[in-house]
Amino acid sequence: MDAGHAFFDEAASPLWMGGSSVAVLVLVLVINAFRKERRRQLRRTLGWWGLYTAFGLAFWALGESAPEGLHRFLGGGTALFRSYTLVGCAALLVFDVVLPALRVPVVRITSDLLVGGAYAFTGLAVLSAAGLDFGSALAASTVAAAVLTISLQSTLGNVVGGVAIQLEGSIRPGDWVQLENGKQGRVSELRWRHTLLETREWDTIVIPNSALLAGQFTILGRREGKSTSHRQQITFQVDFRHAPGDVCRMVHDALLASPIPNVVADPPLQVLCLDLGRENRDSYAHYGVRFWVADLGQSDPTDSIVRARTFAALHRAGIPLARPSITQFHFEQGENAEREREVRRRARAVATLKAFSLFHSMTAEELDHLAANLVYCPFDAGETITRQGAVAHWLYVLESGSCEVVTEVEGVHRPVATLRAPDLFGEMGLMTGEPRGASVIALTPVVCHRLDKEDFERILSARPALARDLSEILADRRVELAMVREELTAEARSLRMATERQRIFERITSFFGLS
């Protein structure tokens, strides 16, 4: 009997078969009793034990009478499956019973590699002990490789995913990530098989690495070359009694006045009017405060501080948050009510005109007439009120706010003057018939009243002295404008001033046909 036969006999001996059966049985009982959740892991070992028993029984049953090839096949199988059964039992005992019971953390990839290696090693050892040649050993090692692959199967995709994530550095511990299902969490750990996300609710999301790579996720607040900051938004509503421009500016200035913990300075905070009454149903405008936070874990408390400061700022400015409301328009009927409204409106307009020395010589009746023709016309900061080159239709009376007069020379905008209420502008185009000589842009929210050309003409015809006063203002402005445009010297300026007043006066009187 050669070494191979002796080895087969020993592998199929009642002692080994009985002993291994008892070992498997004990393991089944232990796992069923104490670690039910690991029952799945039993299956493979039970499979090896089944094969071992089947091959062993067949080996004994046929005995020496079997042909040599079959005898070696059954003997070799018995020895191989005995070793696999032993490796399976040992792996179960160590990684699924003892280490978890001792609360020793087991990294799945490590246990898989160890167990897979043990299968391969014992497989090769058994086959060489059985006296098999290299070709058979190679075939057997292929079997072992298959076994290894099978044992790694569940984790292989995840491991590859984990390695890819770590190599690429696409996610790093500490990053805030939003998953496809909308859940957000901070990456606490990148493991071989899965990635752990800690949520704001103090939960931990476990995402298999393969799933992380296959799906789409958003890394919050990360932008190439910038420090981490994520945009947050809080919203509020204010009714239409308050101009959106005023509300935005006021809240913006109030929020910038003192630093807010966790809100970064760059990108800067914004206050926006998001909508003017949604679906035509609301009686208020929707606003949003957008700001960037450094620590997303503290985003809820930061939102709360921004809300509280916004509320306080509105409160200080006497602007209440909108309440659900229904607007009822109440019309006073009858001639008297109409007349009273008109009287009130004119009184306000006359008060505005009286602020101008230009109109001081006008009688109350003339002022009232002029006021009757003024059209209320507000602008927000940044809006262009008149544009250079446009045809002039109106004279503007500036009641409140300030504007900048800007002229464009060869594509470059140059500031000419700043107008502060009370003042008027647009007289050049209206009085000379020339296109607007400059653009006038609101620097702040502005209240203007417009007077159209026909009404203006009527007033000038009734009071030609106004033409002289206006031509003086106009001449001064023109020279100033020319200085910016043509870069005049001081000497040229005073020369131009003297001739300009007379020239403009003549131009105006002829343009309006005044005597």
What does the binding site for ligand CMP look like in residue numbers (CB under 6 A)?
386, 392, 405, 416-417, 419, 425-429, 436-438, 440, 477, 480-481
Tell me which residue of 107, 88, 98, 5 sits closest to 50, measured CA to CA. 88
CB 451 within 8 A of CB 370: yes
Q: To the nearest whole angstrom, how small is the minimum distance from the Cβ of residue 420 to ligand CMP?
A: 11
What is the distance between the terminal CA atoms of the chain, rounded to a whole angstrom? 144
Instruction: Give the residue with the Cβ less far from ligand CMP, 53 or 386.
Output: 386
Helical segments of 317-363, H only: 335-354
Instruction: Give the residue with the Cβ less far from ligand CMP, 426 or 445.
Output: 426
For residue 409, the cross-strand partners are 412
Tokens of 324: 């659900």
Q: To the nearest whole angstrom, how small is the minimum distance from the Cβ of residue 184 to ligand CMP?
A: 54
Tokens of 262: 């966790």
Give residues with Cβ within 8 angstroms of 286, minimum separation 6: 235, 237, 273, 274, 275, 276, 277, 278
CB 400 within 8 A of CB 352: no
503/512 Cα distance (integer angstroms): 14
For residue 418, the cross-strand partners are 404
Instruction: Give the residue with the Cβ less far from ligand CMP, 161 or 429.
Output: 429
Tokens 């009454």 appear where?
Answer: 277
Q: To the nearest whole angstrom, how small is the minimum distance from the Cβ of residue 405 to ligand CMP?
A: 4
Instruction: Give the residue with the Cβ less far from ligand CMP, 129 or 419.
Output: 419
Q: To the nearest whole angstrom, how small is the minimum distance from the Cβ of residue 351 to ligand CMP?
A: 22
71/68 Cα distance (integer angstroms): 5
Tokens 């990053």 appear where?
Answer: 175
Between strands 412-420 and 284-293, the pairing is unpaired
496/476 Cα distance (integer angstroms): 9
Instruction: Give the residue with the Cβ less far from ligand CMP, 48 or 456.
Output: 456
Tokens of 284: 């208020």
Q: To the nearest whole angstrom, how small is the minimum distance from the Cβ of residue 383 to ligand CMP?
A: 15
Instruction: Give the residue with the Cβ less far from ligand CMP, 213 or 398.
Output: 398
Q: To the nearest whole angstrom, how small is the minimum distance from the Cβ of residue 309 to ligand CMP?
A: 40
CB 158 within 8 A of CB 194: yes
Q: To the nearest whole angstrom, how small is the minimum distance from the Cβ of residue 432 to ligand CMP?
A: 8
Q: To the nearest whole angstrom, how small is the minimum distance from the Cβ of residue 437 to ligand CMP?
A: 4
Instruction: Give the residue with the Cβ less far from ligand CMP, 72 or 478.
Output: 478
For 66, which DSSP code? S
179/333 Cα distance (integer angstroms): 62
Instruction: Give the residue with the Cβ less far from ligand CMP, 277 or 433.
Output: 433
Strands (E), 221-363: 230-239, 270-276, 284-293
Give residues with Cβ within 8 angstroms of 407, minimum separation 6: 388, 413, 414, 416, 437, 438, 439, 481, 484, 485
Q: To the nearest whole angstrom, how small is the minimum distance from the Cβ of residue 449 to ligand CMP?
A: 15
Q: To the nearest whole angstrom, how small is the minimum distance from the Cβ of residue 400 to ligand CMP?
A: 17
Q: To the nearest whole angstrom, how small is the minimum distance from the Cβ of residue 461 to ligand CMP?
A: 20
Instruction: Give the residue with the Cβ less far from ligand CMP, 165 or 441.
Output: 441
Q: To the nearest whole angstrom, how small is the minimum distance from the Cβ of residue 378 to ligand CMP?
A: 19
Give residues with Cβ within 8 angstroms of 235, minimum separation 6: 274, 286, 287, 288, 289
Instruction: Give the residue with the Cβ less far from ligand CMP, 185 or 426.
Output: 426
Q: To the nearest whole angstrom, how small is the minimum distance from the Cβ of residue 500 to ligand CMP?
A: 12
Instruction: Give the residue with the Cβ less far from ligand CMP, 159 or 481.
Output: 481
Phi, psi torsion values for 378, nearest 5 degrees: -85, 155
Instruction: Give the residue with the Cβ less far from ligand CMP, 89 or 421.
Output: 421
Tokens 């892991």 appear where?
Answer: 41
When CB distances to ligand CMP are compared, the closest residue is 429
For residues 191, 192, 195, 198, the Cα torsion angle rounded to the nearest 10 degrees is: -20
413/442 Cα distance (integer angstroms): 15
* DSSP reduced 3-state for 195: strand
Count CB-CB contacts under 10 A for residue 362: 21
Instruction: Give the residue with the Cβ less far from ligand CMP, 173 or 435.
Output: 435
64/68 Cα distance (integer angstroms): 8
